[in-house]
Amino acid sequence: MTGTAKNPEYDFLWCPGCGDFGVRRALEFAMRDWNIEREIPMSHNVVVAGIGCSGNLVHLYEGEQPYGFHGIHGRSLPLALGVKMAREDLNVVVVAGDGDFLSIGMEHIAPQAARNLNICAVIMDNGVYGLTKGQSSPTTVEDTVTSSTPYGKLEATLNPLDLYLTLGVTYIASGYSTKPRDLAAMIKRGMEHDGFSIVHVNSPCTTYNDTYALLKGNKAKGIDPLAWEIPDDHDATSKSAAREIIEQGGVPLGVVYQDDSRPSLDQRMSGVRERVTARSPQSLLDAFSV
Amino acid sequence: MASRSEIIVRFAGEGGQGVVTAAEMLARAATGVGYHALTFATFPSQILGGPTWTQARVSRTPVESPGDAIDILVAFNDEAYHEHRTEVHDGGIILLDPSITPLPDEHLRCVTVPFDELAKQTGESRAANMVVMGGLSRLINMDVNYFKEFVSQRFAGRDKVVEANHMALDLGLAHLAEEDPISDLGEPEKPDYEQVFIKGNDALSVGALHAGIDFYFGYPISPATPVLVYMERNLVGEGKFAYQASSEIEAITGIVGAGFAGKKSMTATSGPGFTLMGEGIGLAWMAEIPCVIVDVQRGGPATGLPTKTEQSDLNAALSPAHGDSSIPVLAVGSVEECFFGAVQAFNWAERYQGPVILLSEHSLAERAQNIPKPDLAATPVESRNVYKGENGYLRYESTEISPFPVPGGAGAYVANGSEHDIYGDTTHLAKYHIHMTERRFSKLKLLEDGAYESDNASASVAVMPWGGSKGSGLEAFRQLRSAGVDIAWYYTMFLNPLPAALLDELRSKDLVLVPELNYQGQFASVLRSLGVRAEAITQYTGLPFRPTELGERIKARLAGAGQPQAVNA
């Protein structure tokens, strides 16, 4: 969409009850507050979207529109790197799903963590490939029968928070799509963090992997909730405390880890710029003079 | 002693013996005093050791290619001697260490110089190269002082090194004082214009910097790595970014992101990396993002021949991505064109708002040559038409090219790799797929005014090489013309789209012969698809054409004796 006008012909729909509705709302809240606090126009925000149901958030975003880039499958992180390192003044947010980010796009997480790329990735994890109709993803639970695992998923279930912590991501938050206000706060804190931030959101797929009951629990059915609030006294700056949270299992809600001590890639680049004098093309050419 | 206007010296040995620097040193020293020179190098794909050779062609007049047979072979070891001796022409010289026992050969003159032993006398054991140069200065009758000047400049401030190297030159010269020179190059005539001595990859990098590159992202790969190294060192300053990517997939997507953010962006790779970039190039075409992708070709497919030269990526360059697309392609044919081609590639990308492929190749990338210094002030640079209006702009509404909104400014839209409507939102509607497909292809019209060369254009048969075969092709063409053969010459850097006027001319010919370094005759095939009666003259040895050999093949074809070359095998 452009400006604030609705696009009358855009007909993509999330299924009723899709968790991504809540994530979109949370991102809208976070970005609105971010703009107000900094007194910057919406045009300073770029949403880089992966391919999958979640990536369509960039088209379904309501209200005044940020810039968007809906790229190719699995490559939202390097696209975001290009935007951010080309224009360090922009607020760059990635929106992607577990298939896009953690399967085909897995290779891009480690380098961005090592660089501490100053962007915020909001991952909508529904534990399934929704748009291609129900295949298993890295976060699909082991032994689950899906259309691509007819005899049960033979691979171990990936724990994304564990992965992020191991790779050195400097801001890790874990959320749940039904709590957009809490989520918005986590996303905004991720935007504010100078470095690589990932807000990992459990965003259920009502069609192929409806985990609402599992996440919230159901006393009548005797289901204990998977989601649990991280206690207020958790020291998010401690890696060992973060690991303890992750190892408790389930879906912790809140900021798991935040390391503000490492400079981000753009800060490191500014350091290089201070040390190195740029030479003009003419002077570079003259260096080859016969 | 015969007087010849040029000489070719090949240095062969093992990596680490100074073979790589020898040819460059000879060429540098020669161009420093006014000769023209170019080098050709081929290395083993390993850090130390392995058979390697380089050669320098030195001439009183400008040269266009590595040339034909060798005049002097400098063999640093037994293997090199046996491998290369047959490429020395009759009457040529082989310069070797006494530890090598030459075969009896009445057509060649073998001259021994104890390289290492003499070097040790100087106190600088690494001066073996200079002993060789001293001996060479006698054999090609080039004043040893030219080398001494070069040494003094190269090692300025390091008196001991200069002294040792000067001594090595004198020792080498003294050792061969009684040998007859092979020929007399004659006194050099310093060109009356400014020159640079530069390698293809460096010229390409400087061209990109002149074009205004902001953003470089690339992954190491032979033979494109020098571009990455040059950019990381020199593309610095406010708003500039040069960085090593974790893969070619990251590299291409990163430069597309930077292009979207309003910057001039580029990556350089070679065959295997180029293949990985296919989807990202398609994204840039689809979302209409300017960016430049350099493919410094080597032999392929897969890992192929990493350190040899080939022109076999043209098909891939024209069609790197799936789906309906026609990616603009430029191919450079000389070190000079490496500079101008890079500028043009950026200009094209900015003008039509999309990805542009710049093809170079190993033989040019590593070629060091004296060229007229490019006049930056006279080399125009284009930048995209940026949207400067209010919000509410529809980026993709027009059926033709339209202003480019830059994040941070008005005109927010979604750049989309999925088919999209006029808002940039994903669509499956036929009317938009038609609209956008036609819009994307219509922009290619902006690129049909490329320059081209022609000579003796009235002939009904033409020769038209592309890329790095230009030099050999041009020299073959000149030989044919001096032999009275009526043949036309055509050449352009702009392969897709071809200059419209050139295409018209080519279509009028009875036969267009296309020398190219691949098995399939890729460019000839493209030309035939455009209605040109084209036929390839192919070679797939990993080495460039030899001009005289190429001339003979053209002549044979014209005489009807040559078999048509492999076509779309």
Instruction: Indicate the domain borders of chain B.
Output: 6-175, 197-378, 385-443, 453-558
In the predicted model, is pLDDT for residue B348 greater than 70?
yes
Pairing of strands A197-202, B414-416: unpaired
Pairing of strands A171-176, B291-297: unpaired
Nearest to B41 by CA among B308, B361, B333, B229: B308
- Record: fold of B6-175: Pyruvate-ferredoxin Oxidoreductase; domain 3 (3.40.920)
Assigned token pair, B535: 């036929």
Encode B472-491: b = buried (16+ Cβ within 10 Å), e = exposed.
bbbbbbebbbeeebebbbbb
Q: In B, which residues are within 8 Å of A270 by CB distance?
A: none
CA distance A137 to chain B (A): 22
Percent of chain A with pLDDT over 70: 98
Summarize pLDDT for B365-396 with one digit per residue, the tens. Answer: 999 999 999 999 999 999 999 999 998 899 99
In the predicted model, is pLDDT for residue A212 greater than 90?
yes
Rounded CA separation B511/B503 (Å): 13
Q: Is residue A3 part of a domain?
A: no
3-class SS at B468?
A: helix
CATH number of the domain residue A94 falls in:
3.40.50.970
Instruction: Point out the residue among A59, A75, A82 whose CB comes nearest to the CB of B261.
Output: A82
Residues B420/B395, Cβ–Cβ less than 8 Å: no
Residues A267/A246, Cβ–Cβ less than 8 Å: no
What pLDDT is stored for residue B21 in this prediction? Answer: 82
Q: Provide the CATH number for the domain formed by B197-378 in this structure.
A: 3.40.50.970
> Over the Cα atoms of chain A, what is R_g?
20
Q: Is residue A199 part of a domain?
A: yes
Give B27's contacts (C-beta < 8 A, 6+ positions apart).
B37, B38, B39, B56, B58, B197, B368, B369, B370
What pLDDT is stored for residue B103 in this prediction? Answer: 87
Give B542's contacts (C-beta < 8 A, 6+ positions apart).
B42, B299, B305, B308, B309, B310
Its pTM stands at 0.96
Q: With cut-offs at 50, 70 and 90, classify the pLDDT of residue A3.
A: low
In the predicted model, is pLDDT for residue B1 greater than 60?
no
Q: With cut-offs at 50, 70 and 90, classify the pLDDT of residue A7.
A: confident
SS3 percent helix, strand, coil of chain B, rounded to 5, is 40, 20, 40
Rounded CA separation B358/B494 (Å): 10
Percent of chain A with pLDDT over 90: 92
Q: 10 Å Cβ neighbour count for B298?
A: 28
Summarize pLDDT for A99-128 with one digit per residue, the tens. Answer: 999 999 999 999 999 999 999 999 999 999
- Tell the residue number behind the tokens 């055509």, with chain if given: B490
Q: Where are the alpha helices (DSSP H) in B89-158?
A: 115-121, 128-139, 144-154
Summarize pLDDT for B272-297 with one digit per residue, the tens. Answer: 999 999 999 999 999 999 999 999 99
3-class SS at B250?
A: helix
Nearest to B426 by CA among A80, A15, A241, A69: A69
CA distance B553 to chain A (A): 37
Q: Per the CB < 8 Å rule, is B250 touching A281?
A: no
CA distance A218 to chain B (A): 39
CA distance A168 to chain B (A): 16
One-letter amino acid of A138: P
Which of B150, B215, B325, B414 is most worth mutating to test chain A (most A CB atoms within 10 A of its CB)? B414
Q: How many CA atoms lie within 13 A of A188 on its CB side?
A: 19
Q: With cut-offs at 50, 70 and 90, classify the pLDDT of residue B406.
A: very high
DSSP-derived letter for residue B444 is G
What pLDDT is stored for residue B461 in this prediction? Answer: 97
In this prediction, residues A193-214 reach a mean pLDDT of 96
Q: Is residue A59 part of a domain?
A: yes
Q: Is residue A1 part of a domain?
A: no
Instruction: Point out the residue among B202, B261, B415 whose CB comes nearest to the CB of A288.
Output: B202
Summarize pLDDT for B175-230 with one digit per residue, the tens. Answer: 999 999 888 888 888 999 999 999 999 999 999 999 999 999 999 999 999 999 99
What domain range includes position A183?
A: 20-286
In the predicted model, is pLDDT for residue B20 greater than 80?
no
> Over the Cα atoms of chain B, what is R_g?
26
Assigned token pair, B274: 């180029």
Q: Per the CB < 8 Å rule, is B258 touching A12?
A: no
Instruction: Point out the residue among B256, B407, B426 whose CB comes nearest to the CB of A90.
Output: B407
Summarize pLDDT for A49-83 with one digit per residue, the tens. Answer: 999 999 999 999 999 999 999 999 999 999 999 99
Instruction: Point out the residue among B246, B253, B408 whose CB comes nearest to the CB of A90.
Output: B408
What pLDDT is stored for residue B104 in this prediction? Answer: 85
Q: Per the CB < 8 Å rule, is A70 touching B418?
A: yes
Q: Is residue A9 part of a domain?
A: no
Work out how many domains chain A is built from and give that number. 1
Q: To 10 degrees, the CA torsion angle through B516, B519, B522, B524?
A: 60
Distances (CA, A) of A86 to A79, B110, B240: 11, 59, 7
In the predicted model, is pLDDT for residue B569 greater than 50?
no
Rounded CA separation B120/B54 (Å): 24
Beta bridge partners of B55: B10, B40
Summarize pLDDT for B98-126 with one digit per residue, the tens. Answer: 888 888 887 899 999 998 899 999 988 78
Q: Is residue A2 part of a domain?
A: no
Summarize pLDDT for B125-146 with one digit per residue, the tens. Answer: 788 889 999 999 999 988 899 8
Residues A111/B250, Cβ–Cβ less than 8 Å: yes
Rounded CA separation A74/A106 (Å): 8
Rounded CA separation B401/B353 (Å): 8
Q: What is the mean pLDDT of chain A?
A: 95
Nearest to B38 by CA among B479, B432, B334: B334
B6-175 and B197-378 agree in CATH topology: no
> Sign of dihedral through CA atoms B553, B457, B524, B558?
negative
Rounded CA separation B435/B424 (Å): 12
Q: Is residue A264 part of a domain?
A: yes
Q: Side by side, which strands form the sheet with B88-96?
A: B109-112, B88-96, B70-75, B6-14, B51-59, B36-42, B368-372, B195-199
Distances (CA, A) of A37 to A23, A33, A94, B216: 21, 6, 21, 33
Chain A nearest-CA residue for B427: A10
Write down how long chain A is: 290
What pLDDT is stored for residue B127 in this prediction? Answer: 86
Q: Is residue A282 part of a domain?
A: yes
Q: Per the CB < 8 Å rule, is A70 touching B426?
A: yes
Q: In A, which residues are within 8 Å of B202 by CB distance?
A: 288
SS3 percent helix, strand, coil of chain A, rounded to 5, is 40, 20, 45
Q: How many CA atoms lie within 13 A of B409 on its CB side?
A: 13
CA distance B233 to chain A (A): 9
Q: Per the CB < 8 Å rule, is A79 touching B254?
A: yes
Nearest to B109 by CA among B97, B96, B91: B91
One-letter amino acid of B35: Y
One-letter amino acid of B568: N
Q: Provide the CATH number for the domain formed by B453-558 in this structure.
A: 3.40.50.920
What pLDDT is stored for residue B15 in this prediction? Answer: 75
Q: Would you say the ipTM is above 0.95? A: yes
